[in-house]
Amino acid sequence: MKTVLVAGATGLVGKSIVALLKKKGFTVHTLSNSLSTDVTKHRFSWSPGKGKIDIRCFDGVDHVLNLSGAGLFDHWWTTSYKEKILKSRTQSTCLLVDTILKHHYHIQTFVNASATGIYGADTGDLWLEETAPVGQDFLADVVKQWEQSLFHATELKARKVCLRFGIVLSDEGGALPQLAAPVKYGVGSPFGSGKQYISWIHIQDLANMILFAIENNTLQGAYNAVAPEPVTNEAMIQKIADQLHKKLWAPHVPGFVLNLALGKERAATLLGGNRVKVTKMEGVGFQFQYKTLSEALHSFFSSKNNV
């Protein structure tokens, strides 16, 4: 039986992958920011900001999965919160790597979350592969440093994989319930022009992809973690409306309204978009369960009228 250490296990993606790992027979150790430590439940404490970690979390661990990171829409992007967005990602990765090296733990695989934001807030309708240039905005720089905190750790001999998440669709949280709620109440509408691309992935496919990255020892480097068919913001809102049997009548939400409500930098993540390819992941044999948005939305909406 293999053991996986998961940081960020209580988030949307974390809960899904932990459940899948346990279902597949893995032992799962998790890291928590709380001070209490419950070894009997394989739950251990850490504080990346303070450089502290209960090293017992590595006992018997074969693989490390780091999903840690402060939420992008949890707070106004003040200077201090932008610093938190960056450090919550880089410090967590560095602490795990440094602890592995310091204590000579024999880790086979280190999988780190990443994001398609590395390509920049808005790349139009250009198809993007993993070799595309890094963007010039704040989030692109965050993701660049995030990946470097793992890939630049040359002394770490474990297989290193960064999965560049797109928009994760789930009925348990994240973007989908927020997009669906206005549609449900008859006031849903696209953002800005509506022509910006959304590269999305079903939560189940993402969990399966993470498991695939852990189990398949041919994977190494950065991989886009998105579905094969990105759609425009306008198309996504329309497909949600179709699933909910609602009509869209409200005008598009103007960009200046989002800029006022969220701040220009945060709003750019909604007004811009990326059209991301997943050819590399499919090329190593990963198979999607939900290739199209219609299939994904049907899985969430088919047995109920809301999310």
What is the per-residue pLDDT for 207?
98
Total number of domains in the chain: 1
DSSP string, 99-117: HHHHHT---SEEEEEEEGG
Classified as helix, coil or strand, 184 is helix
Cβ–Cβ < 8 Å for 168, 227: no
What is the per-residue pLDDT for 59?
96
What is the per-residue pLDDT for 174?
92
Query: How far is Cα of residue 93 from the mean position of the Cα atoms in its chain?
Result: 15
Residue 307 covered by a domain? no
Residue 34 covered by a domain? yes
Cβ–Cβ < 8 Å for 170, 206: no
CA distances from 174 to 144, 180, 202, 212 (A): 23, 11, 11, 23
Residue 228 covered by a domain? yes
pLDDT per 10-residue tile (average), the chain, 307 residues: 93 96 97 65 91 96 97 91 96 98 97 98 96 97 98 97 98 93 91 96 98 97 98 96 92 88 87 96 98 96 63
The residues, any chain, with a CB within 8 Å of residue 102's CB and separated by 6 or more, are: none
> 64-73: buried (b, 16+ CB within 10 Å) or exposed (e) per residue?
bbbbbbeeee
Name the DSSP class of 136.
Answer: S
Record the tokens describing residue 118, joined without a space.
């590395």
CA–CA distance, 87 with 35 (Å, rounded to integer)? 20
Residue 306 covered by a domain? no
Domain that holds residue 163: 3-301
CA distances from 234 to 39, 77, 125, 134, 273 (A): 48, 26, 14, 26, 12
pTM, to two decimals: 0.95
Residue 219 covered by a domain? yes
Record the tokens describing residue 217, joined without a space.
């020892």
Classified as helix, coil or strand, 38 is strand
CA distances from 116 to 54, 58, 177, 187 (A): 32, 29, 21, 29
Cβ–Cβ < 8 Å for 288, 205: yes
Residue 204 covered by a domain? yes
CA–CA distance, 302 with 307 (Å, rounded to integer)? 10
Residue 19 covered by a domain? yes
What is the per-residue pLDDT for 53?
96
Residue type, 37: T
Cβ–Cβ < 8 Å for 124, 272: no
Q: For residue 185, give the CATH number of its domain.
A: 3.40.50.720
What is the per-residue pLDDT for 79?
95
Residue 188 covered by a domain? yes
